[in-house]
Structures are given as structure tokens and as C-alpha cells.
Amino acid sequence: MLAIAAKAIKASVVTLGALLLAPVAAHAKPATEPHGSVAGVVGVAFDSGDPMLGLGLRGGYTARLPIYIGGTFVYNISGWVFYYGGVEGGYDLQLEPVTIRPYVGLGLGHEAYSRYINESVGHRDFSDTALTYWFGGTVLINLNEQWFIGGDFKVPIYKGYLLASPSITGGLNF
């Protein structure tokens, strides 16, 4: 389990480093027009067990600086249910027609599952909520002034457990 966590951290650091360095190499210019955005997210979360399908929503506002402030909610399901949501903050780097956004998030995570204990106890339901934080990056391709598609990679950290979570996203700027 520690080897999987170490690999997830290493992949996350490399990905986040690439996201942060790519705009510098390409002479990125920040976005100048403030705007809001909403997006759907579909992906997979990996922990030490089976991969979990993830569905989510993200929305936020990019100010003139261009600082991004928003929120996200992601629901993952496999043999157990895990969902989390909270606020996110990041920085939008514009490489027309691409936007690169490294970000961090903080919120609450919740897990629930039913486990068979033994014949005398039977199934026991388990449910817990804890502070959850995440870091990641997203690369968005602007199809026009309103619509975008892209990829996202984040690492939610829940009760010390790391989940590598690649996904695809698409949405609307307004």
C-alpha cells in the first residue's frame, strides 16, 4: 500500500510540476477578462483497491488577476462510496486556445460501506466524514468563447489516504 501511495505522490508531483513549468516555457500571458465557468467531470479514482468511477461538478470565477476561486463536488463509487466537496483556488494561465490551471482545494470527504464481520455479527455499516484536501491541475481547450473541454488530474487526501484521480471535463464559460 505504501508503494502505491509513493507512486501516486511521485506521479502527482511530476504532473503538477509539468503543469507549472509549461506556461513559463511558452511565455504564458494571463487571461484578462473576468468570467465564470461551470463544468462536468467524469473520471476514475485509484487507491490501493479497485478503481472507482467518479462523477462531479465544478464551478467558479476567474478574476482579472487571473485568480480562480470556485468549488467542486465529486462522487466516487466502487465497492464503497466516497465523495468530497469544497472550495478550490488556483491560477489560470492562458496559452490560447489552452488554459492551464494548477489548483488546491479544501472541504469535507465522506466514505460509506457495508462489511461482513462474521456469522454472529453479520453485516456492519460503516460511515465517516473527515477534512479532505486536494491538489491538482487542469488543462482546458477553449473550443470557442463559451465552450471548453479538457483533462484534469488531482490527488484528494482523505484521512491520510491518497487517491490519484485522472478525469475528463467539459463545460461553459459565461
- Would you give the DSSP letter of residue 26? T
State the pLDDT at residue 3: 52
- pLDDT, one tens digit per residue, over 66-86 is 999 999 999 998 877 899 999
- pLDDT, one tens digit per residue, over 83-108 is 999 999 999 998 989 999 999 999 99
Mean pLDDT lowest among 21-30, 100-109, 131-140 = 21-30
The residue ranking higher by pLDDT, 11 or 86, is 86
140: pLDDT strictly greater than 90:
yes
pTM (global) more than 0.85: no
Q: Which residues contact 171 (CB under 8 A, 6 or more apart)?
A: 37, 38, 39, 40, 58, 147, 148
The structural domains of the chain, ordered by start, are: 2-173 (2.40.160.20)
